[in-house]
Chain A
């Protein structure tokens, strides 16, 4: 590791640098040769068998009951698989070879608690609370090239998946006026003895003082009607657009958060939560693509991978309230110009009762880390050693999926 990296790390830790200003240097190109990575977390446990119904499996209709019926035909994928009719833009990406669907995928965790499963999803551990930082947070410093990757989460606080030794940015739209530089300077002095507050303030300050970022539209102005409550398609799409902007202006990694997938009741209601979430997901992914294929993006999409994952899938059979209870195996999406798409990757376990986990859930036949490993190693250039030792410990024996172009 170079002395330069030591210095950068120390400076970042002390929060005394405007991070962008020092990292954006010609000689030390941002890690990964311009590669971009977006992680979209779906919180609540998205029902994989609804998002990607397996209509060609003879057991599907009976296993799913009313949830296996669609008023509009699902969009065909390869083999017995299909996409929910409310994901047309994702389907179009699939058709263009830019999106792959991973099915019967899941975490090494089976207890069906949102809290613990999300902890495993974000920390990259094999058990809840085994690791207290995030796999992506730990990967930032281990990527190819000299400097750590620059990451931004499109929310106010830092999500677990991005927590780690490398400082990251967060951003959410604001309706309040900017504070004066003078106040911020005095505050920085005041936070000398509170490292957590100091670092957060320094980071936010650095983001706004970065000359590259000054063109970032709507930095200070309100983006209209934001409630911060994590709801609303408009807000999600706006955040996706903003993520694309950040990725154009020098961030290599972005994290988006879509919640509300915990569909215990009335899952198939056409104007219900699940349907709206699918519409929002489709619009969000399309907005990301649009932002990264725009002329000013300089061909970033071709070098981008987006991973969409959730903490668990849901029970195969419908429950008593036209919804589904927590399950195990589910679906993940991998999309982007750098992805070898147009395929479904699944070791299909079957839907008959004896083929389900504990007789109720879709069995997990592919560990999600089989996708994380190649994306981190081959797309972001994280070394094998770093992967095995710190980024995804305990995953060395997992065979990586073939996801990239």
Chain B
């Protein structure tokens, strides 16, 4: 293996900045001679998404509540008419249309913003954190809220402290819904005791809400902060929590809810302005809690204090560093790189810009060979940017066809989000679908785009001789464009 020269030439750096750290550029002129500077200057809160009628969390919650009410009403009348197991398909449900349109608007806004962004590195960071703190459409109760969640909890907080981002993500209505904290009640909370008393008096069935749900607590520890206990051994290990910590953390989280009644959306204890979530003491488990050896008194202050402690934890530094390095640099990032990122995170007190700067300062991040395979979403966005298709690409199909490539936009199958390793995306059919997609797009634009010029202007020194030759010898314009989109230099970054 040849030692690669560092620092890269200005041309190489520009190409890597555009494609590895950005979302791809049709021309490297915009990057200029100071690639690092171009990237660093972009760091900040993510730009507002482009789109119309994009709901706030509060509206989104209201809209979903209206939909649920309609469903219940129609299910009740349907049962009255035809008892039996009539499982209604979600697409047929009454009141689904406004919800479906909201979801489409969210998906479109996410993709159009990425396709048109003049701060593509910053946009990559926003998408990275949205995936790290996944809230997914795959769960019914988050329908229509995911976009608002990304806009309110993630995007504004990508350039401050990780603590701030963590607080915003965990307490947002989207996350509380997605991981079931909405219905989690302290076993000795007022709400549970009231319910139990009522049932005892009435001699009725057990109460609907009886106590704790551990889902959010577990996933915040495992997926968002410390990393799974026993994991990360190649980097020195992370984790450090036990089952008892999960349960205690769940107790701390009780009370953080998404009340449906419109009246509750005004500022109240523990609620942020314009927030659909709030802290309800009646659901909170009384008494102190001990998580990772620290004691937290009951009340709304416990959660922010605990999250701050988690943000400062050395396991968090390590876990986040591996994830960031894996996303930008390599499926198995070099331990030296990870260690450097860890150090930068801890020394800065958990400031994200320090983490990003450490990444951009690392030689390992600038190796010329594109190693990372683009996910379907990255492939489509970068293709749209390369070909200058603009917002139109998402006009008819809001997801631009990304779902057919195996990735449902804003719809990851689990709270772990989409994986960031090539082997999770590779497969004969996966590649074949990319070929089909590229063919379809290339057929549409192939006659007005000169793929040879475009390849040179966009990839610069990253363009290999084989690819240049194939494009040169293509049978026609569309075929040349397809070859460019499917070339290893464009499939990877």
Q: Find A358's partner among B211, B222, B243, B428 (CB 8 Å cutoff).
A: B243
Instruction: Point out the residues of chain B lying under 8 angstroms from A44, CB to CB.
Output: 414
Please, how many angstroms separate the alpha-carbon atoms of A260 and B137 in the complex? 12
Instruction: Point out the residues of chain A lying under 8 angstroms from B179, CB to CB.
Output: 264
B430 touches A322 (CB 8 A): no
B466 touches A155 (CB 8 A): no
The 6 closest A-B pairs by CB, nearest first: A320-B211, A156-B406, A204-B428, A229-B408, A203-B428, A170-B427
B479 touches A156 (CB 8 A): no
Q: Considering the complex, which residues of chain B in the window 460-493 have a beta carbon less than 8 Å from any beta carbon of chain A?
A: 464, 466-467, 470, 474-475, 479, 482-483, 486-488, 491-492
Instruction: Point out the residues of chain B lying under 8 angstroms from A174, CB to CB.
Output: 404, 432-433, 436
Q: Find A322's partner among B208, B416, B492 (CB 8 Å cutoff).
A: B208
Q: Does A319 contact B (CB under 8 A)?
A: yes
Q: Considering the complex, which residues of chain B in the window 177-213 have a beta carbon less than 8 Å from any beta carbon of chain A?
A: 179-180, 183-185, 187, 192, 205-206, 208-213
A183 touches B433 (CB 8 A): no
Q: Considering the complex, which residues of chain A in the window 267-322 have a beta carbon less than 8 Å from any beta carbon of chain B?
A: 270-271, 273, 276, 279, 318-322
Q: Find A325's partner among B210, B215, B401, B470 (CB 8 Å cutoff).
A: B215
A227 touches B439 (CB 8 A): no
B205 touches A204 (CB 8 A): no
Given the known interface contacts A157-B430, A183-B483, the answer about A177 and B138 at a Cβ–Cβ threshold of 8 Å is no
Q: Does B356 contact A (CB under 8 A)?
A: no
A157 touches B404 (CB 8 A): no
Please, how many angstroms separate the alpha-carbon atoms of A70 and B404 in the complex? 39
Q: Does A179 contact B (CB under 8 A)?
A: yes
- Closest CB-CB distance, A140 to chain B, in whole Å? 15
Please, how many angstroms separate the alpha-carbon atoms of A365 and B366 in the complex? 51
- Closest CB-CB distance, B473 to chain A, in whole Å? 8
Instruction: Point out the residues of chain B lying under 8 angstroms from A177, CB to CB.
Output: 436, 439-440
Q: Does B411 contact A (CB under 8 A)?
A: yes
Which of A1-9, A22-30, A73-81, A184-192 interfaces with chain B? A184-192
Given the known interface contacts A184-B435, A197-B488, the answer about A65 and B470 at a Cβ–Cβ threshold of 8 Å is no
Instruction: Point out the residues of chain A lying under 8 angstroms from B137, CB to CB.
Output: 229
A234 closest partner in B (C-beta): B89
Q: Does A394 contact B (CB under 8 A)?
A: no
Q: Does A200 contact B (CB under 8 A)?
A: yes
B427 touches A200 (CB 8 A): yes
Given the known interface contacts A191-B488, A260-B138, the answer about A229 and B403 at a Cβ–Cβ threshold of 8 Å is yes
Instruction: Point out the residues of chain B lying under 8 angstroms from A320, CB to CB.
Output: 183-185, 187, 192, 209-213
Instruction: Point out the residues of chain B lying under 8 angstroms from A180, CB to CB.
Output: 439, 479
Q: Does A111 contact B (CB under 8 A)?
A: yes
Q: Does B413 contact A (CB under 8 A)?
A: yes
Q: Does A56 contact B (CB under 8 A)?
A: no
Interface string of A154-187 (1 = CB under 8 A from B): 0111100001000011111011111110111011
B436 touches A176 (CB 8 A): yes
Q: Does A265 contact B (CB under 8 A)?
A: yes
- Closest CB-CB distance, A357 to chain B, in whole Å? 11
A155 touches B429 (CB 8 A): yes
Q: Considering the complex, which residues of chain B in the window 336-380 have a beta carbon less than 8 Å from any beta carbon of chain A?
A: 373
| Additional A-B contact list (18), CB under 8 Å, known A182-B475, A200-B428 | A115-B416, A156-B429, A157-B423, A158-B423, A170-B428, A170-B430, A174-B436, A177-B439, A183-B483, A186-B479, A197-B488, A227-B403, A259-B138, A260-B413, A264-B214, A265-B183, A279-B87, A320-B192
A190 touches B467 (CB 8 A): yes
A187 touches B406 (CB 8 A): no
A200 touches B431 (CB 8 A): yes
- Closest CB-CB distance, A40 to chain B, in whole Å? 16
Please, how many angstroms separate the alpha-carbon atoms of A66 and B430 in the complex? 43
Instruction: Point out the residues of chain A lying under 8 angstroms from B121, CB to CB.
Output: none
Given the known interface contacts A172-B433, A177-B436, the answer about A111 and B228 at a Cβ–Cβ threshold of 8 Å is yes
Report how many residues on chain A are interfacial, defined by Cβ distance under 8 Å: 74
Q: Does B437 contact A (CB under 8 A)?
A: yes
Q: Does B426 contact A (CB under 8 A)?
A: yes
Instruction: Point out the residues of chain A lying under 8 angstroms from B138, CB to CB.
Output: 229-231, 259-260
Instruction: Point out the residues of chain B lying under 8 angstroms from A169, CB to CB.
Output: 428-429
Q: Does B53 contact A (CB under 8 A)?
A: no
Please, how many angstroms separate the alpha-carbon atoms of A172 and B432 in the complex? 10
Q: Does B304 contact A (CB under 8 A)?
A: no
Instruction: Point out the residues of chain B lying under 8 angstroms from A176, CB to CB.
Output: 401, 404, 433, 436-437, 439-440
Please, how many angstroms separate the alpha-carbon atoms of A115 and B416 in the complex? 8
Please, how many angstroms separate the alpha-carbon atoms of A270 and B304 in the complex? 37
Q: Does A196 contact B (CB under 8 A)?
A: yes
Q: Does A43 contact B (CB under 8 A)?
A: yes
Q: Does A201 contact B (CB under 8 A)?
A: yes
Q: Does A228 contact B (CB under 8 A)?
A: yes
Q: Does A112 contact B (CB under 8 A)?
A: yes
Q: Does A125 contact B (CB under 8 A)?
A: no
Please, how many angstroms separate the alpha-carbon atoms of A328 and B138 in the complex? 24
Instruction: Point out the residues of chain A lying under 8 angstroms from B482, CB to CB.
Output: 179, 183
Q: Does B229 contact A (CB under 8 A)?
A: yes
Given the known interface contacts A158-B427, A321-B183, the answer about A113 and B222 at a Cβ–Cβ threshold of 8 Å is yes
Instruction: Point out the residues of chain A lying under 8 angstroms from B475, CB to CB.
Output: 182
Please, how many angstroms separate the alpha-carbon atoms of A308 and B76 in the complex? 35
Name 30 interchain pairs, CB-CB below 8 A, sorted by A: A113-B218, A113-B222, A113-B229, A115-B416, A116-B231, A156-B406, A157-B406, A163-B423, A169-B428, A169-B429, A179-B438, A180-B439, A182-B479, A183-B435, A183-B483, A184-B435, A190-B470, A191-B488, A200-B426, A200-B432, A201-B435, A205-B432, A227-B408, A228-B404, A229-B403, A229-B411, A270-B85, A271-B87, A276-B87, A321-B183
Given the known interface contacts A176-B433, A194-B488, A227-B408, the answer about A323 and B427 at a Cβ–Cβ threshold of 8 Å is no
Please, how many angstroms separate the alpha-carbon atoms of A163 and B422 in the complex? 13
Q: Does B230 contact A (CB under 8 A)?
A: yes
B210 touches A318 (CB 8 A): yes
Given the known interface contacts A228-B408, A319-B214, the answer about A183 and B431 at a Cβ–Cβ threshold of 8 Å is no
Please, how many angstroms separate the alpha-carbon atoms of A186 and B85 in the complex? 54
Instruction: Point out the residues of chain B lying under 8 angstroms from A190, CB to CB.
Output: 466-467, 470, 483, 486-488
